[in-house]
Structure 1
Amino acid sequence: MKKIGLVGGISWTSTLDYYKYINEGVNEALGGLHSAEIILYSLNFADIQDKGWLNSFDLLLKASKELEKSNVDGIALCANTAHLFTDEIQKKINIPIISIITAAAQEVNSRKIDKIGLLGTKFTMEMDFYRKKLNEHQIEVLIPETLSDIERIHYIVKEELGKGIIKESSKKEFVKFSEDLIQKGAQGIVLGCTEIPLLISEKDFNSTPVFDTTKIHVQAILDFILDEN
């Protein structure tokens, strides 16, 4: 079993899920008292917020390099927005980064879907780093049309879910945002923020596939660490 390095704390609420799901997956696969060999570098999310995501490359690179020094076999950035810098970080380290976007794209492809609605932080929805990777897998991306909706989604993610605050009213809003995208032609909804699955899931919709990027990323991590090659 390979050793995995996690860049977490972005935010701590979703990092908890990563730790739980990875260990559950290893134990299910190997049985007994087996659990994952994990080294976690948990960032102070306030530092990211103070600098802003666009200026946080050095923080993420430092965390990745420290994990590399710890002799992990691969790294996972435990946030969708952090993948803004995946390509740049990969060029500066000598171990693989397991990409949440690539894993999500492969899962969408496996469901024979070519148009999805994307919910995430303002950066994930508006910038092209996420959309470009999905487009490379022949997946068209729809996002909410109005700036007010985008900013509302970002606020809930940052000020509520990132602090572990779950509100029924916010859940109803996210269901409405998703339904709007479905009406515009989205065949599935990608929860492009690792906190959003704390609020909504596929159970909240009748027949539309909902892609939980946290669980999808965890499965890619499990495939990596359990692969004997």
Structure 2
Amino acid sequence: MPTRPLKQKTIGLLGGCSNVATGEYYRFLNDAVNARLGGWEIAETLIAGMNFGNIEAFIRDNDWDGLGRYMQSKIDSLVAGGADVILCVSNTLHKPMEALMEGAPIPMIHIADPTGAAIKAQGLRKVALFGTRPVMEMDYLKARYQDRFGIETVAPSEAERTDIDRIIFDELVKGELREASKRRYLDIAARMRRDDGVEGLILGCTEIFLLIDQDDAPDFPMFNTSKLHCDAAVEFALSS
């Protein structure tokens, strides 16, 4: 029998972005620890839950400074609470996250890094990127994939980006999974595969995997940023 309490690092979740994604992160983390350790073992976590209404308003108003100040107070609470590492439960919010974590006494695991490593391991060089408008239109994630992993990310067309973003904010963050929206996402992916030559798809919003996943297109690699992010955190938490 192991000595109790069993030693593992505490994973701090900067959550609420959205509550749906935060719940899935908690499930992924616990399932992954239990798969490794068995028995009744799960992850040790702290969750700082933000109000998604605040986040949506800051993003809608393009107020990244205001969003950063709001996020900083929650990051500080995770540090004070004893977290050993921080995960931001959102691709979108990684735009301010890097600067906010500079000089922090604990590390963060960047959501793009385990995804980039998984794409590179499959030998892919050009992939589609689905997510919110900031994720698809700004360079902060695209540049990281390119600079660190040599991966080109391609955004959908303007009309496609509008639909992808709308479905995220109006449906997925509320836990609504509609067949018409699933078909739209899969049609966009198929169109990009045919016309843009993409070799795979980054599910670059932490709720997208609930709508589409690998089973929907078995011969077209999909990369679930949420699951990959959590797996990397568990590897960190259980390391000596």
Same fold (TM over 0.5): yes
The structure-2 alpha-carbon separation of the partners of 1:45 and 1:92, relative to structure 1 and needing over 3 Å to count, comes to farther
How many residues are paired up? 227
- Determine the C-alpha separation between the residues in 2 that align with 1:70 and 1:215: 24
SS in 2 for 1:50: helix
1:11 maps to amino acid: S
Instruction: Say yes or no: does 1:164 pair with 2:180.
Output: no
Partner residue in 1 for 2:223: 211
Match of 1:140 among 142, 152, 165: 152
2:51 maps to amino acid: N
Instruction: Say yes or no: does 1:187 pair with 2:199.
Output: yes
- Determine the C-alpha separation between the residues in 1 that align with 2:183 and 2:46: 36
Q: CA deviation at 1:51?
A: 2.0
RMSD between aligned residues: 1.0
Deviations 1:164-214 (CA, angstroms, capped at 9, x unpaired): 111000000000111111111110100000010010001111411000111
Q: CA deviation at 1:65?
A: 1.1
Q: Stretches of 4+ moved more than 4 A in 1?
A: none
Partner residue in 1 for 2:186: 175
1:205 maps to amino acid: A
- Determine the C-alpha separation between the residues in 1 that align with 2:98 and 2:225: 19
Structure 1 residues 1-229: aligned runs within 5 Å: 1-52=8-59, 54=64, 55-136=66-147, 137-145=149-157, 147-183=158-194, 184-228=196-240
Partner residue in 1 for 2:5: none
In the alignment, structure 2 segments of 5+ residues that lack a partner are 1-7
Q: CA deviation at 1:151?
A: 1.3
- Determine the C-alpha separation between the residues in 2 that align with 1:206 and 1:32: 32
Give the TM-score taking structure 1 as reference length: 0.96
Give the TM-score taking structure 2 as reference length: 0.92
In the alignment, structure 1 segments of 5+ residues that lack a partner are none
Deviations 1:52-77 (CA, angstroms, capped at 9, x unpaired): 26241111121111100111101000
- Determine the C-alpha separation between the residues in 2 that align with 1:109 and 1:85: 25
Deviations 1:19-49 (CA, angstroms, capped at 9, x unpaired): 0110111111112221111000011000111
Deviations 1:97-119 (CA, angstroms, capped at 9, x unpaired): 01111111111111111100000
